[in-house]
Amino acid sequence: MRLATWNVNSIRARVVRTVEFAVREDIDVLAMQEIKCKPEQFPYAEFEAAGYHVEAHGLNQWNGVAIASRLPLEQVETAFPEMPGFAKGHEGPGAPQEARAIGATIDGVRVWSLYVPNGRSLDDPHYVYKLAWLEALRGYTADALAAEPDLPLALVGDFNIAPTDADNGDPTVIEGVTTHVSPPERAAFQALLDVGLTDTVRPLVPAGYTYWDYKQLRFPRNEGLRIDFILGSHAFADAVVGAAIHRDERKGEIPSDHVPVVVDLDLGGSDDDDRPMIF
């Protein structure tokens, strides 16, 4: 199985580019974030023509997540347990959930496409929401792996956290001043690893960014952030045989500000053994 995650930053604006990438790179499962549309607005036809079935979750023109797959999508969910919500003027318990998570089981692998809240600023209620959201995700992950230690589980998507200093090449992202690099955010990311997940791409692609702001020539200057990840349980991580960050997708016409991150999995019994690995 070849699994990819990509914050597409509006699927309706970039559907041709997204589908062309999936076909060209022989992607079996594509998790998308920031689709920025409701399910009834999603451009299903283009994906279906290329052999993909899509499950999408969106509530308005913001956020939104989806999974496109050549393989059957089973046990689809649009929230993990205890996932908090957020709305301006309605922070805290009982706030409506946003479209930030969609999970499905695909060929025995439990995949979650996640768009972690941005946080906005260190003194914004959205930052508190971000940390609460991540804590709920940690709790779900811990419970899922405690119940089924050998579950092939993948949390993939835009985590809006640069876990290490090496993951931050943007001079405007500063610890103590901005989000994405604050100690509580980094601790929340580490907490996911501590309950049994692994950054499955980093061992094979130790350096490289996945996001560059559109402003101030960030991409030509390579002033980016590594904030898009494929985190996997030990059963998932043990199956990873290749990985890549597709930096060139930040080039060309109307690119997203993020690029795809891809892993190859050897799940056993696959008929894709002759497909070249990605590194």
CB atoms within 10 A of CB 12: 13
Strand partners, 262: 4, 244
Residue-wise pLDDT tens digits, 226-273: 999 999 999 999 999 999 999 999 999 999 999 999 999 999 854 445
- Percent of the chain at pLDDT exceeding 70: 95
Q: pLDDT of 34-89, one tens digit each?
A: 999 999 999 999 999 999 999 999 998 889 999 999 999 999 999 999 999 998 77
Quote the strand ranges of the chain, DSSP E.
Answer: 2-7, 29-33, 53-57, 65-69, 74-77, 101-106, 109-115, 153-158, 198-199, 228-232, 240-245, 261-265
Map residue 231 onto helix, strand or coil: strand
**How many angstroms separate the CA atoms of 182 and 122, rounded?**
8
Give, in order, the Cα–Cα distances in Å from 236 to each of 43, 71, 78, 155.
Answer: 30, 17, 21, 10
**Mean pLDDT calculated for residue range 154-182:** 98
Domains and CATH numbers, the chain: 2-265 (3.60.10.10)
- Distance of alpha carbon 95 from the chain centroid: 23
Distance CA 17, CA 87 (A): 32
Q: SS3 helix, strand, coil % of the chain, rounded to 5?
A: 25, 25, 50
pLDDT recorded at residue 271 = 47
CA distance 269 to 116: 34
pTM of the model: 0.95
